[in-house]
Amino acid sequence: MWPEEDKISINEVKLISYSVVMSTYLRYILLRSTKFTNDINQIQYIAVYTLVTVCILTEKLEKISQLGLFIDSMIDSIGMDIKHKEVLVEKQSPTKLSKFLKDRAILDLAKGLNMLDGFTRQVLFLNHVEMMSTKEIGFFYEKPVCQIRQNIIAGEKRLKRTLRKIQPVNLGLLHQDVCLLLCDLDEVLGDNLSAKIAKTTLNYLAKNADEMLSTCEFELRSMFWSWKLN
């Protein structure tokens, strides 16, 4: 996936990782984080920690097609930890959460997307929310355009069935309704929060990446190999 190490510095590799992940998957990470919490502060924490971890470890991936599922794995690992801590804190001192997603239809949509398999969820998100072409998506997953197109159509139908199971009110959903809901995510996820998270992540990487890698190397490598072995 990356240029040879003797032809490019490790910092340049991290910068490439940062650029690819930020431009393609940042808002997807926000969506996936809602599987574990709807508190905006906790979601920001999951997003930043996921982005920092992924940007540091992405250089170890053999193929670009592994990136999306690797990101999912990191979100799930970090998100489960955050969810556990959130439950403990809530029991000790209940607090009012600052909700990230407020609209019921969007909450159902996020839940439905998070119930799909990772590849289907990512393909739908990149196509409908990030407005990536089937050719661009095919590049990231190393699949032909015709297959990506089929995956999107099949994913839309699967999402429609999932949404109907979540809420009886969704029984009347048509195919085009699902597509419009997906497009609505673009506005809901917004750019302000994404810009804030991107800036925080970049600042952290610039100042602490090497220290984080040295002090948390065992934990980070364990997360990576756990994902790879699965």
For the segment 116-172, what is each residue's pLDDT rounded down to a tens digit?
A: 999 999 999 999 999 999 999 999 899 999 999 999 999 999 998 898 888 776 667
Is residue 156 within 8 Å of 179, Cβ to Cβ?
A: yes
| Beta pairing partners, 39 | 99
Q: Provide the residue ranges of all domains of the chain, joining segments of one domain with +.
A: 1-100+191-230, 102-189
In three-state form (DSSP H/G/I as H, E/B as E, the rest C), the secondary structure along 15-48 is HHHHHHHHHHHHHHHHHHHCCCCCEHHHHHHHHH
d(CA 15, CA 209): 11
Which tokens in the block code for residue 230? Answer: 């699965």
31 vs 6, higher pLDDT: 31
d(CA 201, CA 181): 29
| Beta pairing partners, 99 | 39
Average pLDDT of the chain? 79
Q: Is residue 6 pLDDT above 50, yes or no? A: no
3-state secondary structure of 153: helix
CA 140 from centroid of its chain's CA atoms: 14
Range ranked top by mean pLDDT from 23-32, 171-180, 197-206: 23-32
Q: What is residue 6's DSSP assignment? A: G
The CB density around residue 166, as the number of other CB atoms within 10 Å, is: 14
Tell me the average pLDDT across 11-35: 79
At 85, the amino acid letter reads: K
Share of the chain above pLDDT 90, in %: 37
User: Which pTM value belongs to this model?
Assistant: 0.80
Which helix (DSSP H) or strand (DSSP E) does residue 199 occupy?
helix 192-215
pLDDT the model gives residue 218? 43
Can you give the length of the chain in residues? 230
Residue 150 makes CB contacts below 8 A (sequence gap 6+) with none
Question: Candidates 1.10.10, 1.10.45, 1.10.287, 1.10.3210; correct CATH number of 102-189?
Answer: 1.10.10
